[in-house]
Amino acid sequence: MDSKNYIASGILELYVAGVLSEKENQEVYEAMQKYPEVKAEVISIENAIVQLTKASKTDSPYSFADVQNQLKTDEPKVIPIAKPKTNWIQYSGWAASLLIGSILIWTLSQNNQLKEQVATERQQLEAQIDSASTNLAAAEKLIEVFRDKDIISVPLAGQKVSPTSYAKVYWDKKTNSIYLDAKGLPEPPKGKVYQVWSLKLSPLTPTSLGILDTFTADANKIFTITNANESEAFGITLEPAGGSKSPTLEQLYTLGTVSS
């Protein structure tokens, strides 16, 4: 850079006016450090402007005292002592409120969780009570059936296929229904189902009373079946799923005659 041309360009006058860009200011500053003549020129221009502007002052001289008593001078001494103290109080205040806030939120969520748990448990309990009372009602009904003098009890004994099997029929002629207690029958193999028959003995005429397709699912294995026949005996056979038109006698599990 040629300092003479640089000076002559007029950039230094603009520099003192304060109208250059940040980049240009930086550039002039570097030139001033590098070339003493540039620096001297800047100082001269500045002096001229200082005097020119001074001439525009029209009132009486000012005193620095007016400014001085408004300057904050003790700041650097006060700050290091005062600041950490206030900060500590401020921070601990914030920390405390944060802590309280998070405890509150945690408590609320805990409370909600407990409420949900109580609701679920209550529901389960209600379901248990419900099923218990249903079971009780069923049991009472059974007892009633067994005690009724008008009900005919027919034990069914195990046959050749399954000698250990047994069952019992309680026949209520007034309501034309039988209660079959099939607890003594084994679980039917997959794809097979027990079928209940009402039999007339001479000649042997079987009438299907229905299939026990809910056998596996039924807990007490007691089935209520409609029976309007003049039955002389009851039999249970194992049949393919869906049942058969006539009993498969080779698969006769239990049989019992009605005592007259």
User: With contact defined as beta carbons under 8 Å apart, do 216 and 188 qualify?
Assistant: yes
User: Per rule CB under 8 A, is residue 203 in the interface with other proteins?
Assistant: no
Cα dihedral: 229, 232, 234, 237 (round 10):
-100
Is there a contact between 171 and 151 (Cβ–Cβ < 8 Å)?
yes
Contact call for residue 114 and other proteins (CB under 8 A): no
Stretch that binds other proteins, among 24-32, 137-145, 168-176, 178-186 (CB under 8 A): 24-32
Residue 187 contacts other proteins per CB under 8 A: no
What strands lie across the sheet with 166-172, from one edge to the other?
205-211, 192-200, 233-240, 252-257, 151-158, 166-172, 177-181, 222-226
Q: Which stretch binds other proteins (CB under 8 A): 41-49, 85-93, 177-185, 228-236?
A: 41-49
* Of the residues 42, 182, 185, 236, which one makes contact with other proteins according to CB under 8 A: 42
Q: Does 149 bind other proteins (CB under 8 A)?
A: no
Q: Is 45 in the site for other proteins (CB under 8 A)?
A: yes
Token duo for residue 29: 């500053």
CA distance 225 to 197: 11
Q: How far is the CB of 73 from other proteins (least distance, A)?
A: 6
Contact between 44 and other proteins per CB under 8 A: yes
Does position 62 bind other proteins by CB under 8 A?
yes
Closest approach of other proteins to the CB of residue 82, in Å: 17
260 makes contact with other proteins (CB under 8 A) = no
- By CB under 8 A, tell whether 50 contacts other proteins: yes
> Is 4 a residue that touches other proteins (CB under 8 A)?
no
**Rounded least distance, CB 14 to other proteins, Å:** 6
Per CB under 8 A, the list member of 1, 4, 36, 49 interacting with other proteins is 49
Nearest partner of 232 among 195, 205, 196, judged by Cα: 205
DSSP assignment string, 69-128: TTS--SHHHHHHHHHHHHHHHHHHHHHHHHHHHHHHHHHHHHHHHHHHHHHHHHHHHHHH
Rounded to whole angstroms, the Cα distance separating 210 from 206 reads: 12
Q: Is the distance from CB of 41 to CB of 5 less than 8 angstroms?
A: no
Is 79 a binding residue for other proteins by CB under 8 A? The answer is no
Using CB under 8 A, list all residues that contact other proteins: 8-11, 13-20, 22, 25-26, 29, 42, 44-59, 61-62, 64, 66-68, 70-73, 75-76
